[in-house]
Amino acid sequence: MDDGMGWTNRVRIIEPSGQAGWIGTHAALPIVQAVPDGHRLFFSSRDAGGRSHIGFVELSLDAPQDLTRISAAPVLSPGAPGTFDDAGVTSSCLVEHGGQVHLFYTGWTLGKTVPFYLNVGMATSTDGGQSFTRVSSAPLLDRTSVDPYLTASPWILVENGTFRMWYVSGTEWTSTPSGPRHRYHIKYAESRDGQRWDRRGVVCIDYASSDEFAFGRPCVVREGRLYRMWYSYRGERYRIGYAESDDGIVWKRLDSQHGLEPSSMGWDSEMVTYPLVVRHRRRLLMLYNGNGYGRTGIGLATSD
């Protein structure tokens, strides 16, 4: 029986091993951008201090294990001391719009009463994705009464001039024997320009039980009138879930139909997380992370 419940040919395509100066202990949160000679794969990697930087490799999805180029330096690094992303930046979504490439990301800063704070940030490229500049040293989605704890992991589609965002929002921190534990689910927001967002607390994917406490980056694909979302969720360990919607707002969870479970052994046997689903040559491909939140690298699976 296939471990992937509809996903086959699972293979690890990137294992972080110091291929460039910015590639440290992880290769997490993949994003794919089509470029003239193939595909550019952005991801986050951690330096010796545990801070994440975002860079890319170039490859073809037809032969994804053959890297054709690795960026010499990260395209985005942690921000200046005291800013919302001074402890790390992690990749989330790319949007090509208006002749520019927009990188939406998660900024990390360390806390005292809780381990960390997360906020959504945005950087823009005018050279097709070779380099990026922050639109602001402040977060795109700061904490508000709608999102009082954290915002993270945005996914954006632009439809009829409207930017539509699905993002992670914190609901509380709870006390556990091992320390504070976050709880966050997936919400929805809209914008006319990609920078000023209307947040009304609309929850798209909520906890199914008291055992669930965290959802990873959503990835939303629209096919005709159907919206399809892949995301990671966890109780004991991360696995990849799936939901469908007619309008992108009201969703039905169907985790067992098109999700992905950890393998029985190997680099993705303890967890699978941070899915990125793209259509390539009439098939769906999923890029994802395995054990250790990307410590063991990036894998690829093919839909039946």
The pLDDT, as a whole number, for residue 3 is 46
- Is the residue at 287 inside a domain? yes
Tell me the pLDDT band of 261, cut-offs 50, 70 and 90.
Answer: very high
Contact at 8 Å (CB) between 31 and 94?
yes
Query: What is the SS3 assignment for 66?
Result: coil
Which residues form the domain of 212?
7-16+80-303
Reply yes or no on whether the pLDDT at 50 is more than 90: yes
pLDDT interval class at 5 (50, 70, 90): low
Note whether residue 147 is domain-resident: yes
Contacts of 62 (CB under 8 A, 6+ apart): 281
Place of tokens 């409207």: 162
In a domain, 109, yes or no: yes
Assigned domain for 65 exists: no
Report which of 65, 94, 61 is spatially closest to residue 302, judged by C-alpha positions: 61
Residue 60 has pLDDT above 80, yes or no: yes
| Res. 202: pLDDT tops 80 | yes
User: Mean per-residue pLDDT for 156-165?
Assistant: 97
Mean pLDDT across 5-29: 93
Residue 32 forms part of a structural domain: no
Return the pLDDT at 6: 83
Count of domains for the chain: 1
Q: Check residue 1 and give its pLDDT.
A: 30
pTM over 0.75? The answer is yes
Between CA 294 and CA 227 the distance in angstroms is: 27
For residue 98, is pLDDT > 60? yes
Give the other-Cβ count within 10 Å of 303's Cβ.
Answer: 15
Q: Is residue 58 part of a domain?
A: no
Cα gap 269→262, rounded to integer Å? 5
The enclosing domain of 290 has a CATH number of: 2.115.10.20
Average pLDDT of the chain is 95
Residue 50 covered by a domain = no
**pLDDT digits over 236-250, tens only?**
889 999 999 999 999
Name, in order, each residue with C-beta under 8 angstroms of 292's C-beta and a sequence gap of 6 or more.
26, 270, 271
pLDDT at 238: 94
- Which of 75-84, 100-109, 185-194, 254-263 has the least mean pLDDT? 254-263
Q: Determine the pLDDT at residue 15.
A: 96
Round to whole Å and give the CA distance between 66 and 185: 36
3-state class (DSSP) for residue 93: strand
Instruction: Evaluate whether residue 70 is within a structural domain.
Output: no
Which of 286, 297, 230 shows the shortest CA–CA distance to 7?
Answer: 286
